[in-house]
A and B are shown apart, each in its own frame.
Chain A
Amino acid sequence: MSGSSRAQNRLPVRIAVDIGGTFTDGIAQLGDDGLILTAKELTTPQDPSLAVATVVAKLLEQARAAAGVRGATAEHREVVHGTTLVTNAILERKGPHTGLIVTRGTADALRIAREMRYDLYDLDIELPEPLVDRADIIEIDGRLDARGRELEPVSAEALDAALAQIRARGIESLGICLLHSYLDPRHEQVVAQHVRRALPELSISLSSQIASEIREFERMSTVAANAYVQPLAASYLRRLRQSLENVGATGPLRIMISSGGFTSDQSAADDPIDLLESGPAGGVLSALNTAALTGVTEVLTFDMGGTTAKACVATEGVPAITYLFEAARARRFKKGSGLPILVPSIDLIEIGAGGGSIAYRNALGLLNVGPQSAGAVPGPACYGLGGNDPTVTDADLMLGYLDPENFLGGRMRLDPSLTERAMQRLAEELGITPMKLAQGICEVVNESMACAARVHVAEKGLDPRNLTMVATGGAGPVHAVEVAHKLGIRRILCSVAAGVGSCLGFLSAPARADRAWSNAALLEAVDGLELGRVMQQLRASAADELLSAGVSEQEMEFTVTADLRYVGQGHSIAVDMPFESLDADMPRMLAGLFERKYVQLYGQVLPGGVVQVVTWRLSGRSKQQTRQFHLEPAEAGTSGVRPAGHRQIYLPQRQAFGEVPIYDRYRVPPGSVLQAPLLLQEAESTIVVARAAEVQVLPDFSISITLSQDDRSSQ
């Protein structure tokens, strides 16, 4: 891709922008050698596209200047963008007046859900409120059976009655979910055509298009959510494109989706529900890119921010994907308390453990940390913004891990006396010293993250000791080494520019388009010809989407995934193979792959078990390439390996304080090898290595930490 542009003395510029709650961050990659420029603006909540355009304009200007220095001209290629717009619209219920058309007898499906309780012991359980009011759900006739045969057509009278109701209720966006449409979309299409003819301006989402999967409640919930956010997303993307054009960024606009790929702005406007986990997906990809650069493919990503910690497992460099995601949980960290959404998403666990997590004495007299968080305001006690409760950040400060004079690159001063006061109060309640409390807070929060990760890794049938941890987020590098130690993980990587981590992920993401076909059958009974026909159709449709995202035919690769299980089992296992190996023999080969994976996960096959396929999936991607990023060289690597100072920090291994060197992270030249314990400070975070380890600065300024062998792990 690169050779020709350099020959013409033009440097391609690729830009990534991530909208956060406070800041809109952007990076530009100049040329193909991975030079990174950064820019930051306050987020503009009333119209987020404004801040995005400003950031892009700044980056283009910097790029032109930087190219000029190199005697070249900058050529804008593309903008890759991630946004929390969709998530926020659902959380804050900002969507338009949304309606649904459903099969007669199923109008209560959203309220009935699966009839289960996500917490057995809570008598006053709070359930998530559906996105569509019961009064806006319209039933119509027409019926398919479970083999896709038409038992009753959709009648003209029913269509007219539905139309009248849409008008009478003033519905602005419409979802359609009819029984068995995952087998045959024709009834949904008939309804959509009829409505579209009469109301061409109405936004319409079809369940057979958004989530072609069996289980009517989950599919209806998904299409309702898509309809709920579609008009907002479409108008936002239109405005954004316009704003970008105004600042001269006329290249394609790509949008990051939950599965860890990007799609075209048009596809994103049609199926905006795919954007739910746009931002977090970028963070994971960024971490994996860092890992891939050092040749690491088996990874546990660990992202710890102010309120939550997230972790994701990747094998062979590919993040685990879940096909059922939950949005807008009634209780944030309770599985089952949200609205189910059937879109492929990077499989992240999230727990309430962050820098702002509050420590307290629980009903049993024990020290607990989180999930309540002091947030940014009032924030940890040491912020001096009125917070009175001790938090994880306060503990980090007390143990010497954070520099009170140099927090957030000196943008903020921390006040240790406020931390001490907050610690004192809780320590007295617990009957321990404030210092013991600070150690305890770190230990407890690290343990709760390790426990969650242990169970998550066990679900994947993996052993954490074989994984490398990649730490991101403001608090990630502070706690990563201790969490890794608890998990028996020996190697930890910290990527560059933690503050723009998601953006690096956007630039390293492949384009991606997913399709699904639910057709439950015994694997041995699968008609290879029919499967081939359907997969060809799905491939053509996915290829169209990839083409619109700027991927040429030669760059595309396709994978067929089958969700397989033994007949009678509830959980399925995803087994995949390249599209090219699709032939009459595929079912037999899949059975073999399934057994191998089953053994890997559970140690043994089921004697006499019969393999069944539930859903076929096709995933198209642009061929992945690892991207090397580095910051402007001027900032870095000038002071040699001399420490910038020394500080007393708490060393858990010795259960005592000790003096350790502090390094300015970006001033230690690549290739340096340092002996921990030590601290590496940077503007966005501090890398804390409070136990014996070898610390290496990699060519791209990533940090690699290898814990010493003699340090017995707790696994």
Chain B
Amino acid sequence: MTNFDPVTLEILWARLGSIVDEAATGFVRTSFSSLVREANDYAVVLTDAQGQSLSQSSFSIPSFISTLPRTVRHMIDRFPPETLKPGDLLITNDPWLATGHIHDVSTVAPIFRRGRLIAFSAVTSHVPDIGGRVRSSDVPTIFEEGLQIPPLKLLDGGQRQPAVEAFIRTNVRVPDATMGDIWGQGAAHERIRARLLSLVDESELDLAALSHEICGRSERALRAAIAALPDGEYPYLVRHDGFESPLQVQCTVRVKGSDLEVDYTGTSRQVESKSINVVETYTYAYTAFAVKALLCPEVPNNEGSFRPLTVQAPPGSVLNAQHPVGTGARGQIGHILPVAVLGALGPVMGRRQRAEGSGNCVITMTGREQGRRFTVANFINAGQGASAERPGLSGISFPSNLGNSPIEILESEAPVLVRERSLRQGSGGAGAQRGGDGIRFAFDYVGEENATCSFLMTRRVVSPQGAQGGQAGEPASLRVNGEERDPVSVKLLQPGDHVVLETAGGGGFGRA
């Protein structure tokens, strides 16, 4: 079948979506990583034989919107089709080839039909552990971050490669859980293969023709949305809190006909001492997310959704970081890219223009209590920007989707007593529409001995800005025992310490 009417195409498209969603469902349920389960920190993709994305699991977070098909194409470069056979499973966690940090492990499997390569399945997920130092923004190079897995065959014609598995097992803290997740990816590949083959058999489907058709449709939809914008150059600057020195993201969006270019020239250099650097694929991913959310959120993701978009960031900048800088905490910078793109396109978005919001803060704590080791992480989200039509949302995750931990769960897993989790009334910027409020999270550390902790915070120095005369939101802050602290300086909590963390309010829209 190579000709598709609007009915057949809809049915086949739905089936491709259901194939990856079914595989994703099984994978999430068996995963040992709390980030996969609670925060959908995974993605499952089906591509054609050229690595062009056909469909993607529905609930994955935006950071994988475009990275995974690229990983497939990198794999094709290293393992040309003539070297692949049924039962092969390729693996890597190289940040530059895959998702931007080594904590995600990606696997790719070729799918053969009657001896011919017709497609690839690809899965990536945040694994429970990858060795190295515990994740923080303070790790200078990738060598301290943990195990690097170069592109390798984990299964060769269905045969396990013991050397590869042994290297992984030896280098991670929880080998059973980490390998459990990787083999869970294997099960997802198997399910996709079986389902795709029965679909192709049943309808004598020409997958390449289908790929051409659906990617073309998605591409045309996005092009139509871009073409509706006035041609021009739209710059926007987002200042970040910075570390030793200030840091900025300079974003210029150029609309020309149905093409959209996002250029990050003018953005700060990569930061050698911190692991907050972003590789080019991740920069592309969060840029593409913003463009899609703004212009055509309802169109399913596939290769066509990316063709009209080009993204440039100068090599060596913090948005196109070069080996071997650390990238583990890439979200610190990556999460402000949607703010930059939304800001740049704001003036031509009419009533959908919006003020800036803030990304999340994270507390990680580890120690010993009654002879047992504990580790907990809690995400504390912030206020979002108001738009012409409505106030900003309070205390909600954007652009990622990381929920909080219930107080009762936190207290049963770690020796803390949570005193308050509330909205910071009035912390959103004033305006015709108010910015969303940030969150105040206060707790006592009540352990027997000191605990190691890390606070990843954002919007502490430069608060989310308003738009069209709206006011900026209140900045984030951290106080320990009543004293204002720089989060980077707090590495230890002592019994009795009282911590108050406040996240930023979103910017207001329009004059109040």
A607-B387 Cα distance, complex, nearest whole Å: 51
**Chain B 401-416 interface mask (CB, 8 Å, partner A; 1/0):** 1111011110110000
Please state if A361 and B37 are interface contacts (CB–CB under 8 Å): no
Please state if B37 and A455 are interface contacts (CB–CB under 8 Å): no
B residues contacting A by CB (< 8 A) are: 5-7, 9-11, 13-15, 17-18, 21-22, 25-26, 28-32, 34, 37-38, 59, 61-62, 128, 174, 176-177, 180, 183-184, 187, 198, 202, 217-218, 220-221, 289, 292-294, 296-299, 342, 352, 354, 379, 381, 387, 389-390, 393-398, 401-404, 406-409, 411-412, 417-423, 439, 442
Please state if A366 and B13 are interface contacts (CB–CB under 8 Å): yes
A280-B292 Cα distance, complex, nearest whole Å: 38
- Given the interface contacts A115-B403, A432-B6, does A447 sit within 8 Å of B29 by beta carbon? no
B224's nearest neighbour on chain A, judged by CB, is A363
Please state if A447 and B11 are interface contacts (CB–CB under 8 Å): yes
- Given the interface contacts A109-B421, A117-B401, A367-B6, does A606 sit within 8 Å of B411 by beta carbon? no
Contact of B198 among A114, A458, A715 (CB under 8 A): A715
Please state if A123 and B352 are interface contacts (CB–CB under 8 Å): yes
A143-B417 Cα distance, complex, nearest whole Å: 10
A436-B180 Cα distance, complex, nearest whole Å: 48
Contact of A107 among B21, B401, B418, B422 (CB under 8 A): B422
Please state if B396 and A116 are interface contacts (CB–CB under 8 Å): yes
- Given the interface contacts A117-B401, A120-B62, A216-B407, does A367 sit within 8 Å of B394 by beta carbon? no
A666-B407 Cα distance, complex, nearest whole Å: 59
B-side contacts of A558, CB under 8 Å: none
Please state if B176 and A607 are interface contacts (CB–CB under 8 Å): yes
Does A122 belong to the interface (CB within 8 Å)?
yes
- Given the interface contacts A106-B421, A115-B397, A451-B18, does A363 sit within 8 Å of B7 by beta carbon? no
Please state if A447 and B5 are interface contacts (CB–CB under 8 Å): no
Contact of B408 among A180, A365, A436 (CB under 8 A): A180
A108-B418 Cα distance, complex, nearest whole Å: 14
Contact of A122 among B62, B217, B297 (CB under 8 A): B297
- Given the interface contacts A214-B406, A215-B409, A568-B128, does A105 sit within 8 Å of B6 by beta carbon? no
- Given the interface contacts A112-B421, A121-B292, A365-B217, does A606 sit within 8 Å of B299 by beta carbon? no
Please state if A116 and B423 are interface contacts (CB–CB under 8 Å): no
CB-CB nearest 8 A-B residue pairs: A440-B7, A570-B37, A105-B420, A121-B297, A451-B18, A146-B412, A146-B411, A114-B403
Minimum Cβ distance to chain B for residue A372 (Å): 14
A518's nearest neighbour on chain B, judged by CB, is B408
B-side contacts of A520, CB under 8 Å: 412
- Given the interface contacts A112-B404, A366-B13, does A117 sit within 8 Å of B61 by beta carbon? no
Please state if A570 and B38 are interface contacts (CB–CB under 8 Å): yes
- Given the interface contacts A361-B6, A367-B10, does A145 sit within 8 Å of B398 by beta carbon? no
A364's nearest neighbour on chain B, judged by CB, is B217
**Chain A 672-715 interface mask (CB, 8 Å, partner B; 1/0):** 00000000000000000000000000000000000000001011
Given contacts A115-B404, A123-B293, A367-B10, 12 further A-B contacts (CB under 8 A): A104-B419, A111-B394, A112-B404, A123-B342, A218-B406, A362-B298, A440-B10, A447-B11, A520-B412, A568-B128, A569-B30, A602-B26
A106-B422 Cα distance, complex, nearest whole Å: 7
- Among the interface residues B176, B387, B402, which one has the most CB atoms of the partner chain A within 10 A? B176
Does A603 belong to the interface (CB within 8 Å)?
yes
A330-B292 Cα distance, complex, nearest whole Å: 23
Does A448 belong to the interface (CB within 8 Å)?
yes
A376-B479 Cα distance, complex, nearest whole Å: 59
Please state if B406 and A215 are interface contacts (CB–CB under 8 Å): yes
A residues contacting B by CB (< 8 A) are: 104-109, 111-112, 114-117, 120-125, 127, 143, 145-146, 151, 179-180, 182, 214-218, 361-368, 430-432, 436-437, 439-440, 443-444, 447-448, 451, 454-455, 458-459, 461, 520, 566, 568-571, 601-604, 606-609, 712, 714-715
Please state if B407 and A451 are interface contacts (CB–CB under 8 Å): no
A-side contacts of B177, CB under 8 Å: 568, 606
B407's nearest neighbour on chain A, judged by CB, is A216
- Among the interface residues B202, B379, B395, B422, which one has the most CB atoms of the partner chain A within 10 A? B422
Chain B contact residues: helix, strand, loop or mixed = helix
Please state if A116 and B397 are interface contacts (CB–CB under 8 Å): yes
Please state if B354 and A366 are interface contacts (CB–CB under 8 Å): no
B-side contacts of A444, CB under 8 Å: 7, 10-11, 14
B37's nearest neighbour on chain A, judged by CB, is A570
- Among the interface residues B180, B184, B403, which one has the most CB atoms of the partner chain A within 10 A? B180
- 13 CB < 8 A contacts A-B: A105-B419, A106-B407, A114-B403, A117-B401, A120-B401, A123-B352, A179-B407, A179-B411, A216-B408, A366-B217, A444-B10, A606-B176, A609-B176
B-side contacts of A608, CB under 8 Å: 176
Chain A contact residues: helix, strand, loop or mixed = loop
Minimum Cβ distance to chain B for residue A361 (Å): 7
B-side contacts of A122, CB under 8 Å: 293, 297
A712-B204 Cα distance, complex, nearest whole Å: 14
Minimum Cβ distance to chain B for residue A658 (Å): 21
Please state if A601 and B29 are interface contacts (CB–CB under 8 Å): yes
Minimum Cβ distance to chain B for residue A248 (Å): 50
B32's nearest neighbour on chain A, judged by CB, is A568
A112-B425 Cα distance, complex, nearest whole Å: 12
- Given the interface contacts A105-B420, A363-B299, does A120 sit within 8 Å of B61 by beta carbon? yes
A-side contacts of B7, CB under 8 Å: 366-367, 432, 436-437, 439-440, 443-444
Please state if A364 and B299 are interface contacts (CB–CB under 8 Å): yes
A114-B404 Cα distance, complex, nearest whole Å: 5
A436-B6 Cα distance, complex, nearest whole Å: 10
A366-B12 Cα distance, complex, nearest whole Å: 11
B389's nearest neighbour on chain A, judged by CB, is A124
A104-B417 Cα distance, complex, nearest whole Å: 12
Please state if A440 and B408 are interface contacts (CB–CB under 8 Å): no
B-side contacts of A606, CB under 8 Å: 32, 176-177, 180
A-side contacts of B184, CB under 8 Å: 602
A346-B334 Cα distance, complex, nearest whole Å: 42
A-side contacts of B422, CB under 8 Å: 105-108, 112
A-side contacts of B176, CB under 8 Å: 606-609
Minimum Cβ distance to chain A for residue B41 (Å): 12
Minimum Cβ distance to chain A for residue B376 (Å): 12
A-side contacts of B38, CB under 8 Å: 570
B-side contacts of A437, CB under 8 Å: 7
A269-B138 Cα distance, complex, nearest whole Å: 57
Please state if B29 and A602 are interface contacts (CB–CB under 8 Å): yes
Please state if A448 and B14 are interface contacts (CB–CB under 8 Å): yes
A361-B9 Cα distance, complex, nearest whole Å: 13
B-side contacts of A120, CB under 8 Å: 59, 61-62, 293, 401
Please state if A454 and B6 are interface contacts (CB–CB under 8 Å): no
A-side contacts of B420, CB under 8 Å: 104-106
A-side contacts of B13, CB under 8 Å: 366
Please state if B32 and A566 are interface contacts (CB–CB under 8 Å): yes
Please state if B406 and A216 are interface contacts (CB–CB under 8 Å): yes
- Among the interface residues B202, B296, B407, which one has the most CB atoms of the partner chain A within 10 A? B407
A-side contacts of B9, CB under 8 Å: 366
Please state if B394 and A363 are interface contacts (CB–CB under 8 Å): no
- Among the interface residues A108, A145, A566, A601, which one has the most CB atoms of the partner chain B within 10 A? A108
- Among the interface residues A364, A368, A448, which one has the most CB atoms of the partner chain B within 10 A? A364
A344-B174 Cα distance, complex, nearest whole Å: 35
Please state if A214 and B412 are interface contacts (CB–CB under 8 Å): yes
Please state if B218 and A364 are interface contacts (CB–CB under 8 Å): yes
A-side contacts of B25, CB under 8 Å: 455, 458-459
A-side contacts of B403, CB under 8 Å: 114-116
Contact of B439 among A112, A364, A451, A566 (CB under 8 A): A112
Contact of B6 among A431, A459, A601 (CB under 8 A): A431
A461-B9 Cα distance, complex, nearest whole Å: 29
- Among the interface residues B34, B342, B403, which one has the most CB atoms of the partner chain A within 10 A? B403
Please state if A432 and B5 are interface contacts (CB–CB under 8 Å): yes
Please state if B379 and A115 are interface contacts (CB–CB under 8 Å): yes
Please state if A214 and B408 are interface contacts (CB–CB under 8 Å): yes
B-side contacts of A454, CB under 8 Å: 18, 22
